[in-house]
Structure 1
Amino acid sequence: MSRTDGQIEDRGYWGSKAEFLLAVAGNVVGLGNVWRFPYLCYKYGGGAFLIPYLVFVVTCGVPLFLLETAMGQYTREGGITCWHRLCPLAEGIGYAGQMILLYSCMCYIIILAWALFYLFFSFSPELPWASCDNTWNTDYCIVGAARNLTLNRTTPMNSTSPATEFWERRVLSLSGGIEQMGHINWEILLCLIAMWMTCYFCIWKGVKSTGKVVYFTATFPYAMLLVLLIRGLTLPGALQGIMFYLYPEPARLSDPQVWMEAGAQIFFSYSLSVGSLTVLGSYNKYNNNCYRDSLWLCLLNSGTSLVAGFAVFSVLGFMAHQQGAPIEEVAESGPGLAFIAYPQAVAMMPLPQLWAVCFFIMIILLGLDTQFVGMEVVMTSVMDLFPMVLRKTGRREMFLLIFCLICFFGQLVMVTEGGMYVFQLFDYYACNGACVLFLSVFESLAMGWTFGAERMFDIIEDMTKTRPNYIFMLCWKYFTPLVSLVSLVCSLVQYQPLTFNRWYVYPGWAYALGWLLALSSILLVPGWALGRLFTGKGNLRQRWHHLCSPDRNLPLTRKQRTEMQQMMRTAEMEDLF
């Protein structure tokens, strides 16, 4: 199709099968594989944690991964319009998923800005988080302190490590609470601008540019991970760290929290229920074998998590060995691992700058492809919603620029002195597991029962020439909604208000704001369904039937074509007689 002003551009396909696989791998293999899964294994029973983890992989992870990928490949639509074609009543799931992705894009890129800031300092002659001789250090800073290496504090008199003070006092310029926002940290702001510009040019031409960028961003982190793994395993104390990582504690399986954490990890790690896989699958050709792709990608994701645990805990074991401290005092999850514990351990190694550069390049690239693929998902979903307006030549780039600017100005509060408190509020409420679990319940019910699991099986068989295992049908109809619902209820029953550093309690208005952020996505599902039911044409029964019926213009499967031909032959025979 020639590119002329005002012409509607073709939606396009992936340039090759490898582009699709790398894009999905880059999206699902992210920071959670490195800084969350290993910590969960250590904290919740070591090798025994793999049991609930695998249960959720089988009942929720792989079935929903296949379902969402197949939905996109079949409809060739984004995360919103695919629901309009398959089950209009559930279209609110698409809107809710894009809302969660929008919040995630605003939070995730802040982490990349922090990592870029650390990367710059990694080229210093002496790592600034290795000593207490800097202007930001306090009198309580002690090199090699075995206490307070994480974000935990008990009293102000406790000694702190230089890595902790660099993170809190130099990077974050942390204020006393969310009530004290303070001024903007201009250095972090510049890093944030650099990351937004990088993401913009990675996806400004759609899958034509995204498909090429992922060749580097999705593969190079594995090279860095392999380097860090080999280095970690050769350090003294590495075996101690790995034992803490995998030592099985079967008694922990009776703890409901263990199962909840395993479920939450699967939903976040596999990028389920937010439309990411649907959009990525929608750029495939109709006959692509998404069944085989889904199985291999799920295996790659979980395998990466397991291997990353060896890389992380071998280094933490070395850190504990060097300080003569229990590994419980150095093990950490989330930003505490990436920006305190691991940098502190790197500072103790020979050639610390080299290992710091490798680590933060890995962090940036792991997060970068997850970030720009998330942006691409939102872009595609909105453009598919308004194709006549947004798919005209030249308008994609302008719309993407507007999207980036809206997110950028909306997150400026996160780069202030009190920005970390706002960041955690968004991360804990707007992007939390309860929101995703809620969507997964209705997604599996809508596709398993309203659209029909049997019909979805026929579609996948027609596209891939392979009949999926019957266990997937059971999961879509029974196991996935049941497991998701139980996990959702348990997470609400055992809800704990957000705290920071386990010592700062947010004010009441901040918790109210957090719940509003969570409800802003959750309420879109019932709100959209009720709105369509009350505003549609005909009586209530007719509206319900219309909203539960798929689009008649969807591609017909081989089975449907055969049935239609038989009906036509039967009708012709009846006419003859």
Structure 2
Amino acid sequence: MTEEKASEAPDGDPKSDNGIPEEGGPPRGKWANKMEFIFSVSGEIIGLANIWLFPYLCFKNGGGAFFIPYFILLFFLGIPLFILETAVGQYTSEGGVTAWRKICPVFEGLGMASQVLVMYLNIYYIVILAWAIFYLYSSIKSPLPWTTCDNWWNTEHCFSTYTASYDPHFTQPDADWSFLHNVTTTSDYPDNLTYTAFFDHKSAAEEFFTKRVVRMSADMSLSNVHWDMALCLLIAWIMCYFCVWKGIRSTGKAVYFTVTFPYLLLVILFFRGVTLPGAWEGLKYFLMPDVAMLIQPKVWCDAASQVLYSHALCLGVLTSLGSYNKYNNDCYRDCLALCVLNSATGIFAGVVTFSFLGFMAQSYHLSMEVVVESGIGLVFVGFPKILSTMPVSSFWAVVFFLMILFLGLDSQFVCVESLATSITDMFPRHLRRPHARELLVLVIAVVCFLLALPLLTDGGMVLFQVIDVCGFSRITFFIIAFLETTVIAWLYGADRFCDNIEDMIGYRPFPVLKYCWLFVTPLICGLMMLYSLTERMHLYVYGYEPGESWLILGRLLMITPLMCIPLYIVITLCRNGNNITTPSSALRQAQPHKPILKLCECVIFKAQRPSSRSVDNRNEKMMMEEHGGV
């Protein structure tokens, strides 16, 4: 089949793989070229975590020494899982749920668990984009609204960092800041007590975020929606919808801009940051190794969770994106390149972040421990403080929040694409019809928009934190990662999966990969899961500690995706108790008579003999398969 004929797929989907209808529906589309896949995955894995989480974890866990556990776990945990999930999608040509149904029917619940997590992500992550849009709009005002204390949302405790930055008295080491909290500075207090109080709770930048943007109140009600923020959320969803409404035809084109533009802005901020006074002091705190920290289990657990989060593992997104590759695409090489790119971006973003933090520390004569913040506090409180002290502050604020908007936007709409793909593949006869895709994405957008409205209330910030900490608990990710590698290595067969990859890309992957799937990766996940179970769940949001009812909600959010796994095991057993671990006969097996798992030349599991129907289907597929690379 020529490429031109392959591109004439029903519904206008580009480049059908082999023209064979799947599950009774029209054939699926394929990426127009390799770069669309590369850019789409890059858009998903390179996001806000590179800006606010990776640099903070490096600082907290031994500076440059944190790179040691991070890269060890990247090699033995992240890369094996990244290749596994992407190859499963490319091999099966199915989304995050039906791919596991074809690989091992009894563990279809793994796919459903990942889609629950993606649903969480689609609900709460886009709220960050709404905040970024509001900050972007506010950045065109002069002076910047988070630099003054004469606004309607400010309290009597507010202090303007804008004023301090232009008053040399307040930037002296012996400056008296005690009036901020009506405390008397004496020799009994630590040197930086009043500085800490200033930056923790009373700055104009923090009041802008807590009193104007999220508007936290004492009662933490979830009924009073702030409609100006809801409008920003609506704008974010409109942008997201039109990036994915036509499927990979629109997604594959949108990512060219949404991925490259933030890099351009990040480079601009890099050259500005490293030329600021104090930048090198900040970089020293970021990169200077403290090897003694490596003996602490929490450092390794933080590194493992960062590897999973930053590479979008256990979400089914890589499986869905990989499913649009042609069968012979070299996904192995692509995955290695993408993992290197993501890690390099995290380090580069850390250099940018800490150069600005070093400037802030020197400007106010503070220690780095005081100015370093993590999470949204860094993006929406810390950086606005820094930007407000720079010349032409409005320009740098616009550049920064444009970068935040586009970094988050491509991660968001790729998640929507993944969810839509998984749902479509579950019901192909109905959802691959003309215009069904547009309606499905519209339904996802509307439902997620409505479910996100409670996050824009007085108590929305607490709910946001509950979803972020509990809904995306590292325990959940470690369990899913453990089961994914176990299912592929021991039930489907590590040797058979390596044979599948070799059939797709033309050569066998590095042998260490097989043993990572069999032993190393599951062991790491198991140990990290056990350690995480010993940690106490703790939520603390800008001076407010959520009560027991919030913790109950958090536990419910944590349990919900995991419950999909045993639920689908029961459902599969009730449907068909036989062959619950037998892969679909539609899957192409280039070497069906080889053992599916061998260790040291010893056969652990023999070959699963394909039925005659499976052989016929495979022969037909092999005859029609397009063997050219993407």
TM-score by length of 1: 0.92
Partner of 2:553: 513
C-alpha distance in 2, partners of 1:530/1:157? Answer: 53
C-alpha distance in 2, partners of 1:245/1:12? Answer: 44
Could you tell me which of 80, 84, 109 is aligned with 2:101?
84
The alpha-carbon deviation at position 181 of structure 1 amounts to 3.1
Could you tell me which of 238, 243, 253 is aligned with 1:212?
253
C-alpha distance in 1, partners of 2:465/2:368? Answer: 26
Task: Provide closer, same or farther for how the CA distance between residues 61 and 268 of structure 1 changes in structure 2, counting only shifts above 3 A.
Answer: same
- Whichever residue aligns with residue 535 of structure 2, its letter is Q
**Alpha-carbon contact 2:286-2:350 (below 8 Å) kept:** yes
The alpha-carbon deviation at position 9 of structure 1 amounts to 4.5
Could you tell me which of 408, 415, 418 is aligned with 2:449?
408
Partner of 1:531: 571
The alpha-carbon deviation at position 410 of structure 1 amounts to 1.1
Partner of 1:557: 590
Structure 1 position 54 matched with structure 2 position 71? yes
Could you tell me which of 132, 135, 146 is aligned with 1:115?
132
Partner of 2:393: 352
Q: How does 1:539-550 map to 2 (within 5 A)?
A: 543=578, 546-550=579-583
Partner of 2:349: 308
Structure 1 position 473 matched with structure 2 position 514? yes
- Whichever residue aligns with residue 549 of structure 1, its letter is T
Q: What is the CA RMSD across the aligned residues, in angstroms? A: 2.4
- Deviation readout 1:143-175 (Å, 9 max, x if unpaired): 237999xxx999899861110111111111111
Q: Which runs of 5+ in 2 are unaligned?
A: 1-8, 13-23, 165-170, 172-176, 181-193, 596-606, 613-630
Q: How does 1:257-276 map to 2 (within 5 A)?
A: 257-276=298-317
**Alpha-carbon contact 1:202-1:372 (below 8 Å) kept:** yes
Q: How does 1:56-75 map to 2 (within 5 A)?
A: 56-75=73-92
- Deviation readout 1:45-80 (Å, 9 max, x if unpaired): 001111111121011100000011110001000000
Identity score, percent: 42
The alpha-carbon deviation at position 466 of structure 1 amounts to 2.0
The alpha-carbon deviation at position 132 of structure 1 amounts to 1.8
Task: Provide closer, same or farther for how the CA distance between residues 355 and 102 of structure 1 changes in structure 2, counting only shifts above 3 A.
Answer: same
- Deviation readout 1:451-507 (Å, 9 max, x if unpaired): 011111111111111211111111101011110111111111112332223x42222
2:289 aligns to what SS in structure 1? coil
Partner of 1:572: none
C-alpha distance in 2, partners of 1:81/1:182? Answer: 38
Task: Provide closer, same or farther for how the CA distance between residues 194 and 273 of structure 1 changes in structure 2, counting only shifts above 3 A.
Answer: same
Structure 1 position 168 matched with structure 2 position 201? no
C-alpha distance in 2, partners of 1:270/1:159? Answer: 33
C-alpha distance in 1, partners of 2:318/2:199? Answer: 49
Task: Provide closer, same or farther for how the CA distance between residues 554 and 153 of structure 1 changes in structure 2, counting only shifts above 3 A.
Answer: farther
C-alpha distance in 2, partners of 1:35/1:191? Answer: 22
The alpha-carbon deviation at position 290 of structure 1 amounts to 0.4
Task: Provide closer, same or farther for how the CA distance between residues 366 and 453 of structure 1 changes in structure 2, counting only shifts above 3 A.
Answer: same
C-alpha distance in 2, partners of 1:432/1:13? Answer: 33
Q: How does 1:327-338 map to 2 (within 5 A)?
A: 327-338=368-379
C-alpha distance in 1, partners of 2:79/2:10? Answer: 40
C-alpha distance in 1, partners of 2:59/2:524? Answer: 24
- Whichever residue aligns with residue 75 of structure 2, its letter is V
- Whichever residue aligns with residue 176 of structure 1, its letter is A
Task: Provide closer, same or farther for how the CA distance between residues 282 and 153 of structure 1 changes in structure 2, counting only shifts above 3 A.
Answer: farther
Could you tell me which of 143, 167, 173 is aligned with 1:126?
143
Could you tell me which of 17, 20, 35 is aligned with 2:37?
20
C-alpha distance in 2, partners of 1:564/1:432? Answer: 37
**How many pairs were matched up?**
553
Could you tell me which of 285, 291, 299 is aligned with 2:340?
299
Partner of 1:38: 55
Structure 1 position 99 matched with structure 2 position 116? yes
C-alpha distance in 2, partners of 1:476/1:22? Answer: 27
C-alpha distance in 2, partners of 1:118/1:247? Answer: 33
The alpha-carbon deviation at position 234 of structure 1 amounts to 0.2
**Alpha-carbon contact 1:438-1:488 (below 8 Å) kept:** yes
**Alpha-carbon contact 1:73-1:282 (below 8 Å) kept:** yes
TM-score by length of 2: 0.84
2:202 aligns to what SS in structure 1? coil
**Alpha-carbon contact 2:196-2:370 (below 8 Å) kept:** no
1:476 aligns to what SS in structure 2? helix
Could you tell me which of 222, 245, 261 is aligned with 1:181?
222
**Alpha-carbon contact 2:195-2:366 (below 8 Å) kept:** no
Q: Which runs of 5+ in 1 are unaligned?
A: 569-577
Could you tell me which of 527, 531, 553 is aligned with 1:486?
527
The alpha-carbon deviation at position 530 of structure 1 amounts to 2.9
C-alpha distance in 1, partners of 2:572/2:396? Answer: 56
2:84 aligns to what SS in structure 1? helix
- Deviation readout 1:226-254 (Å, 9 max, x if unpaired): 00011000000000100111111111111
The alpha-carbon deviation at position 27 of structure 1 amounts to 0.5
- Deviation readout 1:512-536 (Å, 9 max, x if unpaired): 1111111110111122113322x14
- Deviation readout 1:186-238 (Å, 9 max, x if unpaired): 11110000001111110000000000000000111110110001100000000
2:273 aligns to what SS in structure 1? helix
Task: Provide closer, same or farther for how the CA distance between residues 130 and 8 of structure 1 changes in structure 2, counting only shifts above 3 A.
Answer: same
The alpha-carbon deviation at position 559 of structure 1 amounts to 7.0
- Deviation readout 1:81-113 (Å, 9 max, x if unpaired): 001111111110000000000001111000000
- Whichever residue aligns with residue 40 of structure 1, its letter is L
C-alpha distance in 1, partners of 2:554/2:155? Answer: 33
- Whichever residue aligns with residue 309 of structure 1, its letter is G
The alpha-carbon deviation at position 547 of structure 1 amounts to 1.0
Task: Provide closer, same or farther for how the CA distance between residues 532 and 166 of structure 1 changes in structure 2, counting only shifts above 3 A.
Answer: same
- Whichever residue aligns with residue 232 of structure 2, its letter is C
Moved more, 464-473 or 307-316: 464-473
- Whichever residue aligns with residue 167 of structure 1, its letter is F
**Alpha-carbon contact 1:454-1:473 (below 8 Å) kept:** yes
